């Protein structure tokens, strides 16, 4: 396993690396026509476009979004109604918040959302009809939970240059499933991505259940989000907040040539009664923790990788939390050399850095 020191990566490449020999490069040059719709010129420039001069300690903020509508819950006996119903609201609100602050994110989208329609059987899929049962029962008349092509189009058309990645085809748990099913999921995603002219360079594992990484590599994935080395939820607040544990992560290239960009923090990992006891924004421990991660990235040379689902934005309090965090990212980007990058940009830079270090490129 080769660890890529971020400090070394800076200056080797401005985030615009050429295609790496031997690997498919679906992200370069930037795709301007996706889903058959011409993307308008960005009104806001992502942070990774900036000129970087010398090798200095500089870090990045990466934000990834698990965009799934009903698919994040379809296999659960009792899906949480509030979050299921918040999927579309949260998706639109997040897009607005990212645009307000001019911040790009990696949107990992469930492939099924790109379908126009389906009968709920998926006969060719090796997971079998039972896996798709909810489409034929409770959600038979809920197409808005099963399809979301117009929401994906909204990401592509957005003035902010977001990345569209993959969150599998039907939210299969890769750590538990067979190789055959993993292959079928990736193959279907590739077909849909090609038809929609989407890159799908980056992959986010459903429920962060990492598995079949070689299958990802076979299907042209460049980057995935690995498990967080920091504790989640209330433990994150206690350990991260009180013991001063770093929230930064380092990207590294695994044995399959994939770049792992591990998660730092789940933005809604601290919920329930403890959360409700601190409705005031300045008391929100997650805002404090996320700000600290951003500050560490601005001062150091690692990545602060925040992630969430659109359906975590259930109400105005959730919106305010994200607004406060994103405002802090934008402020630090303006004040310092901090970059705000997509997973794909980090992956391409890590591979270019590795190849430079190995002497395989000029």
Kindly give the interhelix angle for 285-299 and 316-335, rounded to the nearest 10 degrees.
20
- Decide whether 118 or 210 has the Cβ nearer to Zn ion: 118
DSSP 8-class letter at 1: -
Residues that bind Zn ion (CB under 5 A): 66, 68, 72, 118, 135, 206
Give the DSSP letter string of 297-361: HHHSSSEEEEEE-GGG--SHHHHHHHHHHHHHHHHHHHHSS-EEE-HHHHHHHHHHHHHHHTTS-
Is the CB of residue 61 less than 8 Å from the CB of residue 329? yes
Residue 146 CB, shortest distance to Zn ion, in Å, is: 6
- Decide whether 118 or 299 has the Cβ nearer to Zn ion: 118
Q: Where are the alpha helices (DSSP H) in the chain?
A: 6-9, 81-101, 133-136, 143-146, 149-157, 179-196, 213-218, 233-235, 241-242, 273-276, 285-299, 316-335, 343-357
- Separation between Cα atoms, residue 117 and residue 147, nearest integer Å: 7
Residue 120 CB, shortest distance to Zn ion, in Å, is: 5
Residue 174: cis peptide before it, omega within 30 degrees of 0: no
- Separation between Cα atoms, residue 150 and residue 113, nearest integer Å: 9
Residue 288 CB, shortest distance to Zn ion, in Å, is: 26
- Decide whether 135 or 158 has the Cβ nearer to Zn ion: 135
- Decide whether 70 or 102 has the Cβ nearer to Zn ion: 70
- Decide whether 15 or 206 has the Cβ nearer to Zn ion: 206
The CA angle 103-198-61, to the nearest 5 degrees, is 25
Residue 298 CB, shortest distance to Zn ion, in Å, is: 29
- Separation between Cα atoms, residue 196 and residue 45, nearest integer Å: 24
Residue 79 CB, shortest distance to Zn ion, in Å, is: 13
Output the six-digit token pair for 239: 């350990």
- Decide whether 65 or 346 has the Cβ nearer to Zn ion: 65
- Decide whether 13 or 68 has the Cβ nearer to Zn ion: 68
- Decide whether 95 or 113 has the Cβ nearer to Zn ion: 113
Round the CA-based radius of gyration of the chain to a whole number and report it.
19
- Decide whether 58 or 86 has the Cβ nearer to Zn ion: 86
Residue 89 CB, shortest distance to Zn ion, in Å, is: 17
Give the DSSP letter string of 131-147: GGHHHHTTTTT-HHHH-
Residue 353 CB, shortest distance to Zn ion, in Å, is: 30
- Separation between Cα atoms, residue 165 and residue 186, nearest integer Å: 12
Residue 71 CB, shortest distance to Zn ion, in Å, is: 7
Residue 230 CB, shortest distance to Zn ion, in Å, is: 19
Nearest to 219 by CA among 168, 270, 260: 168
């Amino acid at each position: 396993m080769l660890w890529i020191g971020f400090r070394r990566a800076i200056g080797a490449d401005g985030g615009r690396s050429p295609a790496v020999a031997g690997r498919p490069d679906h992200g370069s040059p930037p795709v301007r026509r996706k889903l058959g719709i011409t993307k308008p010129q960005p009104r806001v420039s992502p942070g990774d476009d900036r000129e970087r001069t010398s090798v200095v300690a500089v870090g990045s903020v990466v934000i990834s979004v698990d965009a799934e509508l009903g698919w994040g819950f379809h296999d659960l006996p009792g899906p949480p109604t509030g979050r299921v119903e918040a999927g579309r609201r949260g998706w639109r609100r997040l897009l607005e918040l990212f645009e307000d602050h001019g911040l790009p994110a990696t949107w990992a989208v469930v492939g099924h959302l790109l379908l126009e329609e389906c009968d709920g059987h998926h006969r060719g899929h090796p997971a079998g009809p039972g896996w798709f049962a909810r489409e034929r029962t409770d959600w038979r008349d809920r197409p808005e939970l099963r399809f979301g092509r117009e929401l994906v189009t909204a990401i592509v058309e957005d003035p902010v240059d977001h990345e569209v990645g993959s969150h599998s085809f039907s939210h299969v748990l890769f750590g538990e499933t067979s190789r055959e099913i993993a292959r079928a999921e990736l193959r279907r995603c590739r077909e849909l991505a090609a038809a929609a002219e989407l890159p799908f360079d980056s992959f986010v594992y459903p429920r962060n259940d990492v598995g079949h990484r070689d299958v990802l590599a076979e299907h042209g994935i460049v980057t995935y989000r690995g498990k967080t080395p920091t504790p989640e939820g209330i433990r994150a607040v206690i350990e991260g907040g009180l013991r001063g544990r770093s929230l930064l992560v380092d990207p590294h290239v695994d044995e399959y040539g994939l770049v792992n960009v591990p998660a730092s923090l789940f933005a809604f990992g601290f919920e329930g009664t403890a959360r409700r006891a601190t409705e005031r924004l300045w008391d929100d421990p997650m805002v404090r923790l996320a700000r600290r991660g951003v500050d560490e990235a601005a001062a150091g040379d690692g990545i602060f990788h925040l992630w969430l689902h659109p359906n975590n934005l259930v109400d105005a309090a959730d919106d305010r939390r994200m607004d406060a965090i994103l405002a802090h990212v934008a402020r630090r980007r303006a004040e310092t050399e901090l970059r705000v990058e997509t997973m794909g940009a980090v992956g391409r830079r890590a591979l270019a850095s590795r190849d430079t270090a190995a002497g395989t490129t000029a």
